[in-house]
Copies of this chain bind each other. A is one copy, B any other.
Amino acid sequence: MRTRRDVYLNDKPWEEALAEYLQHLAAKGALQPGTPEVIPTEQALGRVTAEPVFAQISSPHYNASAMDGIAVDSAITFGASDATPKRLQLGDKAQVVDTGDPIPPGCDAVIMIEDVHFVTDDVFEITSAAAPWQHVRAIGEDVVATEMILPANHTVRPVDIGGILAGDVGEIKVHPRPRVALLPTGTELVQPGTELKPGDIVEYNTRVFGAMIETWGGEPMRRPITIDDWDQLKNTIMTAVEEADVVVINAGSSAGREDFTADLIRELGTVLTHGAAIKPGKPVILGEIKGKPVIGVPGYPVSAALCMELFVRPIIYRKLGSTPPPPQTTSAIISRKMPSPMGVEEFIRVKLGQVGEKIVATPISRGAGVIMSMVRADGMLRVPRLSEGFRAGDTVTVELMRPLEEVRQTTVIIGSHDMALDVLANHLRRKFPAASLSSANVGSLGGLSAIKRGECHCAGTHLLDEETGDYNVSYVKRLLGDRPVVLVNLVYRQQGLMVAKGNPLGIKGLEDLTREGIRFINRQRGAGTRILLDYRLQQLGIDPDSIYGYNREEYTHMAVAAAVASGAADAALGIKAAANALGLDFVPVVEERYDLCIPGEFWDTPYITRLLEVMATSEFRQQVAALGGYDLRDCGGVMYRQGI
C-alpha cells in the first residue's frame, strides 16, 4: 500500500496538473458542450450561444422616417434656399410623417418639422433643398437579414437580447448548463439546522460549491450526505456519473478519507492526479470515470473553495465553449513579512486598503478551516512555488475579491480589537453605501506600528502608561515622535475577568489566577489588554509563570471569551461586551480608555470624517451602549493632538 508520503512526493505544480487533466478530458470528449437547448430569446440572459445567431429580417424592415416632419420626393425641393424659398403643397410627393412611419411611395427624403413653415393648412414653405435619403432610416440600417448578430459561444447580455429580437429571432440555441453533482461525504457531517453534538460538522461546503457553479453558468445537483462506507460511496458515485456531466466529491475533513476516495475513483475509472503543489488544497484528486470528470475536493472549506476555483471552474467554462475570465488584479505593497514554504504555491487571503498613494495588502488567517478568511478577504495573493515568501514592503500582484473602487473607499483600521468597531462598520455602510471599514486585529502596539509604516488610516489603541495612569499619549510620542496625529476617543470600557456562567470556581480577581486547577487564556503580546494584565500582575507582585495558560495566546476578545464559554479555559481578561455576548460572568478589573489614533494626513479626509459622522449618531451610540460595559461620554471627542 502506498503511504501519503509517496503520493505527495509526486505533487505537481497545479497548472501542470490542470493542463494534463484537461488534455485527458478533451481526448475523452468530456469537455464538449452538451446537445444544444432551444430557448426563447427573452430568457437567454447569461446563456451561451451554441450556434451563431443570424437575422431573420432586416431592421428596420421598411424605409422609415427618422424624424417627425414631411416626407417628400427630394426632386421637388431642388432650388429652395433662403433667398428663394419654395412653396409646396401636401399631396403624393409631400406627406406628413411621424418618426418611425414608412416613407410613402414616391418620396425619398424627410424634412424636419422644425424646418417647415406652414402658410395654409396644406401649403408649406422650405428654405433649403432636401438631399435624397436625408432623415430616412434605410432598410437594414440596424441589421440586415441573414447577417450574423452573435457568434457561437457568446454569453448573452441585455443588449444582445435586443439585437436578436431586432432580427426577429424568437428562439436561439444555447449550450445546456453543465450539470455538476455535488457529493458531500463523511460520517461526521450533518445538515445545517441540526442540533449539534461535539464532532458534528455542518455540511455547508456543497452549498458554497452550488452557488459557485451557478455563478459560472452551471447547474448544481446537490446530493444527500454519504457516510464513510466503501459500497455506499461507490453507489453514490456511480449514480452521479450517470446523471451529471461533472462529479465533485467533497472528501470530508479526514486526511485518511482522501485516499479512500482516490482508491474508489481508481477502481471505477482513472486518477490523473492525487495531490497538487498548492497550499491549501494539496490533497485534491483529479479523476475520470466513464468519460466524465470526477474531482475529489478536500474538506476544509478554504481548500475546498480554492480547488473549485482552480480545477472545476475551467471545466464548467470549457463545457460552455468558453474560458474563465481572468481575475481583476491590482498591485499592492505587502504590509508585513510573509514567509511561505518552498515547493508549493500558497494562496494567501489579504485585506486591502488604499492608504495615501499606495494600496496595502495585509494577510489574514491562513487556516484552511477558516471560511471567514474568505468572507473577510479583499483579495488573494499567490506566493509562487519557488519563492520563500515576501518581505514587508515588497510590491505584489493581488487578485481582487472585491472591486478596487470599494477597496479605495475603505477606511483601514489596524490595532486593538473592540466590538464597537463592528457596530461602526455596520452603521458606516448604512449611512454611506459605498464606504466600508476594514479592521485588522494586531493589538494596540501593532496598530501604532502600522501607522508608522503608513499602512492604515487610523489605529485603535488602549495603552496604559504605567507611570502617569494616562492612556495612549506617551506611546504615541514614543512610537510616532512628533508626527502630526490626533487621538479621538471611541469608548471607555470595562476590562475584567470573563468566567463561566455562575462563576463556579469563585474567581474574584487576578489573584485567583494562580490557583491550582485554574486554566487561564491570554491575549497576544502587544495587545493593550496584555499590557494591562502585566501591569496589574506587577502591581500585585504575581509571577506570570505561576499562571497556567499565561502563554496560550489569542488575538481577539471574542476568541478568549469563546475559549472560556467552551470550557477550554476558566478565565480570560477581556471586555464586558464580549462576556455578555457569550453569556459569561464578568469580574470587573478596571475601566480603560479606547481611542482612535489618526495621522494628520487623514484627519480631514472622508476616511475619517465619515467615521466621525457615524460616531455622532444616536443609533451608533445606543447600539454600542447596549453591548454592555461601555461609556460613551467622550465618544468622538479629541483627547490629544500634536502637530495639527
Give Cα A237 to B220, complex, Å: 40
* CB of A335 closer than 8 Å to a CB of B: no
Residue of A62, A170, A205, A210 with most chain B CB atoms under a 10 A cut-off: A62
* CB of A323 closer than 8 Å to a CB of B: yes
Within 156-190 of A, Cβ neighbours of B (below 8 Å) are at 157-163, 165-166, 168, 170, 188
Contact A162 B301 (CB under 8 A): yes
Contact A66 B100 (CB under 8 A): no
Closest to A4 in B: B114
Give Cα A61 to B42, complex, Å: 47
CB < 8 Å neighbour of A371 from B66, B154, B163: B163
CB < 8 Å neighbour of A132 from B193, B323, B552: B552
What 0/1 readout, one digit per residue, does chain A (131-161) give for beta carbons within 8 Å of chain B?
A: 0110001111111111111111110011111
Neighbouring B residues of A558 by C-beta, 8 Å: 140, 144, 146-147
Contact B562 A374 (CB under 8 A): no
- A to B CB contacts below 8 Å, 19 in the list: A62-B566, A63-B566, A68-B256, A100-B201, A138-B559, A143-B371, A145-B562, A147-B422, A158-B211, A159-B208, A161-B211, A162-B205, A163-B372, A165-B204, A168-B196, A321-B429, A321-B430, A323-B434, A325-B403
Closest to A208 in B: B162
Contact B430 A159 (CB under 8 A): no
We find that the number of chain A residues with CB closer than 8 angstroms to chain B is 120
Determine how close the nearest CB of chain B comes to the CB of A354; give it in whole angstroms: 14
Contact A152 B429 (CB under 8 A): yes
Within 238-284 of A, Cβ neighbours of B (below 8 Å) are at 252-256
* CB of A98 closer than 8 Å to a CB of B: yes
User: Given A160-B375, A254-B98, A558-B144, is A430 in contact with B138 using a C-beta cutoff of 8 Å?
Assistant: no
CB < 8 Å neighbour of A170 from B52, B192, B252, B367: B192
Give Cα A425 to B170, complex, Å: 23
What 0/1 readout, one digit per residue, does chain A (543-587) give for beta carbons within 8 Å of chain B?
A: 000000100101010110111011010000000000001100000
CB < 8 Å neighbour of A146 from B59, B552, B581: B581
* CB of A10 closer than 8 Å to a CB of B: no
Contact B433 A321 (CB under 8 A): yes
Determine how close the nearest CB of chain B comes to the CB of A314; give it in whole angstroms: 11
* CB of A463 closer than 8 Å to a CB of B: no
Give Cα A158 to B196, complex, Å: 23
CB < 8 Å neighbour of A563 from B41, B139, B157, B305: B139
Give Cα A449 to B484, complex, Å: 59
* CB of A469 closer than 8 Å to a CB of B: no
Contact B204 A102 (CB under 8 A): no
Within 630-644 of A, Cβ neighbours of B (below 8 Å) are at none
CB < 8 Å neighbour of A207 from B98, B165, B204, B305: B165
Contact B158 A212 (CB under 8 A): yes
Neighbouring B residues of A154 by C-beta, 8 Å: 429
Contact B100 A433 (CB under 8 A): no
CB < 8 Å neighbour of A168 from B159, B202, B208, B326: B202
Contact A562 B140 (CB under 8 A): yes
**Chain A interface (Cβ within 8 Å of chain B)?**
5, 41-42, 45, 52, 57-64, 66-68, 98-102, 114, 132-133, 137-154, 157-163, 165-166, 168, 170, 188, 192-193, 196, 198-202, 204-205, 207-212, 214-215, 252-256, 299, 301, 305, 317-318, 321-323, 325-326, 328, 367, 369-372, 374-375, 403, 405-406, 422, 425-426, 429-430, 433-434, 436, 549, 552, 554, 556, 558-559, 561-563, 565-566, 568, 581-582
User: Given A162-B371, A566-B58, is A325 in contact with B144 using a C-beta cutoff of 8 Å?
Assistant: no
Contact A559 B140 (CB under 8 A): yes
Closest to A367 in B: B141
Neighbouring B residues of A57 by C-beta, 8 Å: 196
User: Given A138-B568, A426-B152, A430-B152, is A372 in contact with B563 using a C-beta cutoff of 8 Å?
Assistant: no
Contact A45 B405 (CB under 8 A): no
In addition to A102-B198, A142-B367, A145-B582, 10 A-B residue pairs with Cβ atoms within 8 Å of each other are: A132-B549, A138-B559, A144-B556, A151-B426, A151-B429, A153-B433, A161-B211, A162-B208, A165-B192, A325-B403
CB < 8 Å neighbour of A562 from B132, B144, B193, B207: B144
Residue of A41, A139, A148, A305 with most chain B CB atoms under a 10 A cut-off: A139
Contact A137 B369 (CB under 8 A): yes
User: Given A41-B192, A62-B566, A254-B98, is A159 in contact with B67 using a C-beta cutoff of 8 Å?
Assistant: no
Closest to A568 in B: B63
Q: Which 5 pairs across A and B sit closest by C-beta, in order of nearness?
A: A140-B562, A158-B211, A165-B204, A146-B581, A139-B566
Contact B100 A252 (CB under 8 A): yes
Determine how close the nearest CB of chain B comes to the CB of A349; give it in whole angstroms: 10
Give Cα A582 to B168, complex, Å: 15
Neighbouring B residues of A372 by C-beta, 8 Å: 142-143, 149, 163, 166
Closest to A154 in B: B429
CB < 8 Å neighbour of A199 from B101, B188, B405: B101
Neighbouring B residues of A60 by C-beta, 8 Å: 201, 369
Contact A562 B138 (CB under 8 A): yes
Give Cα A242 to B581, complex, Å: 44
Give Cα A150 to B144, complex, Å: 50
Give Cα A328 to B436, complex, Å: 20
Contact A581 B204 (CB under 8 A): no
CB < 8 Å neighbour of A148 from B67, B254, B426, B559: B426
Neighbouring B residues of A212 by C-beta, 8 Å: 158
Closest to A192 in B: B165
Closest to A328 in B: B328
